[in-house]
Structures are given as C-alpha cells and as structure tokens.
Amino acid sequence: NTQPIRMRKDVRILLIGERGVGKTSLILSLVSEEFPEEVPPRTEAITIPADVTPERIPTHIIDYSAQEQGEEELMEEIVRAHVVCIVYSVDNEETIRAITDYWLPLVRRVVPDEDRKPVVLVGNKSDVLQVSSMESILPIMNEFTEVETCVECSAKTLRNISEVFYYAQKSVLHPTAPLYLPEEKE
Ligand code: GTP
Ligand code: MG
C-alpha cells in the first residue's frame, strides 16, 4: 500500500472558528512577535518566506472573519486551503462545542472525501485558564480522524504561537495518519 508523495511548492493555512476566539490576533502575534492590542476583523493574506519557515516552504496564512465574509467565501477558502486550523477559545465551552456542531462538519461537507485535508485544533487564550481543554478535545480527535494535532496557545503571551503554524505546515508535508483510506479493491 504505497502512498503518493506529494511535492508542494507552498502551503496554504486557513484559520477558521467562532467569532472572538483570536484568529486575527494569532496571525498578527506570529508576524510581529507581540500581542496586538487592537485588531481589525481580518488580516490581509500573509506569506511567510521559505527561508524563515521550519520546512523551507513559502507559507500563506489566511484569516477568516464572519463579519466581512459570507459562507460562500468561507467555503471557497476551505477548498483552496491545504490545512485548516479550527481555532477555539480554551475558556469558552461554546467555541469548543461549535467545533463538532459546525466547523468540522462544514469542512467535511465542502471537501470531497478523497481530498480530505488535515485539520489542526488550536485552543487559544491559554493565558486565561489554568486547566487544560484537552479533556474536551481528545474525544473530538478520536471521532474525526482528519484532526492531525491539537495545540493550546496564547496570542497574548506568545506561548506556542510558532508551534501552531509549524504543526499546520507539518501536517500538510508529513501527515502522520492516513487522511483517506481508499476502499479495498478486489
Ligand atoms: P473575528 O474576526 O470576529 O472572528 O474574531 P477573531 O477570532 O479574529 O478574534 P480577535 O483576534 O479579534 O480577538 C478577539 C478578542 O480576544 C480581542 O479582544 C483580543 O484581544 C482577545 N484575544 C485574542 N487572543 C487572546 C489571547 O491569547 N489571550 C487573551 N486573554 N485574549 C486574547
Ligand atoms: Mg478576526
């Protein structure tokens, strides 16, 4: 059972998730290495040049904002992305529930099975919570095999920020689990 080796010339990372979880802040924190006190609803697409990424591949980071974009545009961005980061806020149960109620089913609906793309679950605002959200997240990882990794981070303290984008990049270039199991053929 050989898996095709896919060469990529770039990686396209899309951040989605409920409003206010910190998608825009995460991107700006990564780029400026400091927490932005004021953020626009959505950032321009950002390209990280190959030589400063761990895997030496130009990486585009795409923000999403329900305030500025409709569902149609969201679905187009999901199709274009190589990896989808679903961001939630570790201190907000509702944003965790929405992962399985809305975001993961949406990604499945938009992307045909054979194109299934890796998903990284990103728990932001870890600075405001002492306990971990992993207890709620692990069952999701078990149920949805497209979820490659989960990571808790804070755009505010910069904890694990570069890791978020590294894991996302890595899940495209070196998936750890089969994303799609072709049916057994006779
Ligand atoms: P939408 O664009 O509306 O979908 O929101 P968003 O997901 O882009 O969130 P945004 O970056 O606008 O952040 C929402 C609020 O959360 C802002 O007040 C941020 O300052 C705050 N915030 C973002 N990241 C963190 C974090 O790591 N810790 C804390 N304590 N607050 C954060
Ligand atoms: Mg935003």
> Residue 113's pLDDT band (boundaries 50, 70, 90)?
confident
| For residue 119, pLDDT beyond 50 | yes
Is pLDDT of 168 > 70? yes
CA of 36 from ligand 2 middle (Å) equals: 12
The model's pLDDT over 12-42, given as tens digits with 9 standing for 90+, comes to 999 999 999 999 999 999 999 999 999 999 9
Mean pLDDT of the chain: 90
> Does the C-beta of 91 come closer than 6 Å to ligand 1?
no
What is the longest distance spanned by two Cα atoms in the chain? 59
- Distance (angstroms) between ligand 2 centre and the Cα of 40 equals 6
Residue 24 Cα to ligand 2 middle (Å): 4
Q: Give me the pLDDT at residue 178, please.
A: 56
**Overall average pLDDT of the 132-146 stretch:** 93
pLDDT of 3 higher than 80 = no
Listed range (31-35, 121-125, 134-138, 175-179) with the worst mean pLDDT: 175-179
Q: Are 88 and 99 in contact (CB under 8 A)?
A: yes
Confidence band (pLDDT; 50, 70, 90) for 1?
very low
Predicted local confidence at residue 115, as pLDDT: 81
ipTM exceeding 0.95, yes/no:
yes
Please state, for a pLDDT cut of 90, what percent of the chain lies above it: 79
Q: To which H or E segment does residue 142 belong?
A: helix 134-143
The tokens for 57 are 């591949």
Contact in structure between 86 and 119 (CB atoms under 8 Å): yes
Q: Is 121 in the pocket of ligand 1 (CB under 6 A)?
A: no
Q: What is the pLDDT of residues 5-19, one digit of tens each?
A: 557 889 999 999 999
- Give the distance (Å) from ligand 1 centre to CA of residue 18: 10
83-89 and 119-124 strand pairing: parallel
**What's the CA gap between 186 and 182, in Å, rounded?**
12
Question: Which is more confident, 176 or 149?
Answer: 149
Nearest CA to 118 out of 1, 8, 2 is that of 8
Ligand 1 centre and the CA of 24: distance in Å?
Answer: 7
**Residue from 25, 34, 89 whose mutation best tests the ligand 1 pocket (most atoms within 8 A of CB):** 25
Residue 66 CA, closest ligand 1 atom number: 4
Nearest CA to ligand 1 atom 28: 125
Distance CA 185, CA 19 (A): 44
